[in-house]
Chains A and B, each alone.
Chain A
């Protein structure tokens, strides 16, 4: 009995050691690939940074940017330097390439009959894609929410915050659905839930805007019926004149 237990333990230990021996070269290959590509990326990034600094790339980009534009290249760059952005993108592309090569090497170190790599490795790339989708969606949601909020406040809409909130959640729900779909989680349940949520938010926003603007629309229709030949604001009184209520004529410029 004791002999059998000892044999079973030795056998299992042997199997684990064999697996580790097979696993370690793959792991080392993975680490080596990442380290080498990171080093290449670091050198390339340094070279590109020197080159762009010498050609005054940042100044050229800034000179070509339109100030009033809501989206500028510099706004997305770390420390608002396009040179830094490009060099970091190159570095990270190299590191990601290293990770991809490492995973491939890791995959190759397993024997063909191993089921782990067939399932786990493609899923790892999907997971990475889903994280990127979530990150980009979150950034876009924040940017759009702020743009809508400022635009609505300046248009003197009473429901500016609500509108901004709605736009933010529209983008976030869309992002979450895309990420889950990318991960192949939930299947039709996610699609159905997304459709219901998205439709619900759009309907809520439409109702809110419609009900909130009821007075505005009725006043506008009354005005157009009473004064069909009245001068349109764009003709003689441009938008730079505040002209909502009867009062003094304001000239901003």
Chain B
């Protein structure tokens, strides 16, 4: 079996060590920064912050708050509006954002781009500088930020998006669905082409998976720690519809890139499972774990008929045991979660049941992982991070399972 190259991914923490962008080569290159709508004050704040973070750097700052009549220019910074109206305002970067950014980059001859999402004004100067330095000076094609988050933040990414992207595409970025991103021009073109394939023009909101695209193209990917950031709320949509939208989009991308991830082999570094922390009798976590374990028990009783269409008998048996476990010992093993997700990916591909139903049936299982996460992390950031890494490691270890079932789906117990 031939092996395809995996994207060069490394995690850097340049907040303390990053030099200011003062290379003569890079200062000649134009950096396009696309902002969301922040209001006049927010735009002024970002303008000052970018000026301080990137002194001497030629920057084109595109913002929907700038009208065509108000476009201004200083020695290093040009303020421009969006030619085709503001991009789609979403809580994360969507296809139309990448399309608009690529068009603007061509128009302004930019050599690199930074796309900043909603509430980008909460990013620090150091974080902005770290992202810009990486994309301008280090021959990186895609720089994705990693924020300082709490133990109970970005749980869908920790449970599903990061482990799947890491295992299948060999890209260990903790937020594969980025809020902000820095891109080389060729990466921007690649993502614009992917966005175009998804169709529906500039007003569409399909999600694009930059890390997977970069991996398939053998581009260089780097994760940059950028400190704290306010994570935007995804609006009024509920968890079920959002999880279905995000998981469905990722599953579709996985389906489309099956020939790539079936060939590629990523290095597996097993993370030893740590003992779960005993929660105190009056902790908030224990109260939450009790309620969520009870919900899972109810979900198991009601949905086992649907799960049995998707999951093999040993997974169903493990879920049955989990549903009978008392809240104090409720723990979904990472390898069980990995197999369950892989089975759902396969059922999505085979359309075993209606896709809307399939993704709806995943929600209680995801919440079971969240319950285990609460129990394992006990509110501690280090323990939380360890549990996330254990989950990601389990996905890598179980990758042969999904490859085998993808090729021979009729063999229920490979």
Contacts and interface: CB of A to CB of B under 8 A. Distances in A.
Interface of A: 63-64, 67-72, 74-75, 80, 143, 146-147, 149-154, 156, 158, 160-161, 234, 238-240, 242, 244-253
In the A-B complex, list the 4 residue pairs whose CB atoms are closest, starting with the nearest: A70-B356, A247-B288, A67-B248, A239-B238
Contacts of B243: 252
The secondary-structure label for the interface of chain B is helix
Interface string B284-304: 110110011001001101110
Nearest to B240: A154
Given A68-B356, A161-B301, A251-B152, 6 more contacts: A234-B236, A239-B238, A239-B239, A240-B237, A248-B152, A252-B239
Contacts of A160: 298, 302
B252 interface: yes
A208 B307 CA distance: 26
A67 B198 CA distance: 12
B356 A245 contact: no
Contact of B152 (A64, A246, A250): A250
Given A247-B285, A247-B287, A249-B152, A150 B303 contact: yes
Contacts of A150: 303, 306, 357, 360-361
Interface in B373-387: 374, 379
Contacts of A250: 152, 155, 288, 370
Contacts of B91: 253
Nearest to A233: B236
Interface of B: 91-92, 149-150, 152-157, 197-200, 231, 233-246, 248-249, 252, 284-285, 287-288, 291-292, 295, 298-299, 301-303, 306, 351, 353-357, 359-361, 363-364, 367, 370, 374, 379
A69 B245 CA distance: 9
Contacts of B351: 74-75, 80
Contacts of A68: 241, 244-245, 248, 356, 359
Contacts of B248: 67-68
B356 A238 contact: no
Contacts of A147: 356-357, 360
A240 B238 contact: yes
16 contacts: A64-B199, A72-B356, A150-B360, A151-B360, A153-B299, A154-B360, A154-B364, A158-B298, A161-B301, A240-B234, A248-B288, A248-B374, A252-B154, A252-B155, A253-B231, A253-B246
A80 B354 CA distance: 11
A71 to B, nearest CB: 7
A69 B356 CA distance: 6
Nearest to A249: B152
Contact of B252 (A67, A239, A253): A67
A202 B154 CA distance: 42
A253 B156 contact: yes
A167 B60 CA distance: 58
Contacts of A70: 354, 356-357
Given A63-B199, A67-B249, A250-B155, A245 B291 contact: yes
Contacts of A69: 356
A146, A149, A152, A248: which has the most chain B beta carbons within 10 Å? Answer: A248
B306 A240 contact: no
A247 B248 CA distance: 29
B340 to A, nearest CB: 16
A75 B238 CA distance: 24
Contacts of A234: 236
A33 to B, nearest CB: 37
A248 B302 contact: no
A239 B236 contact: yes
A143, A240, A244: which has the most chain B beta carbons within 10 Å? Answer: A240
A80, A250, A252: which has the most chain B beta carbons within 10 Å? Answer: A252
Contact of B287 (A152, A158, A242, A245): A245
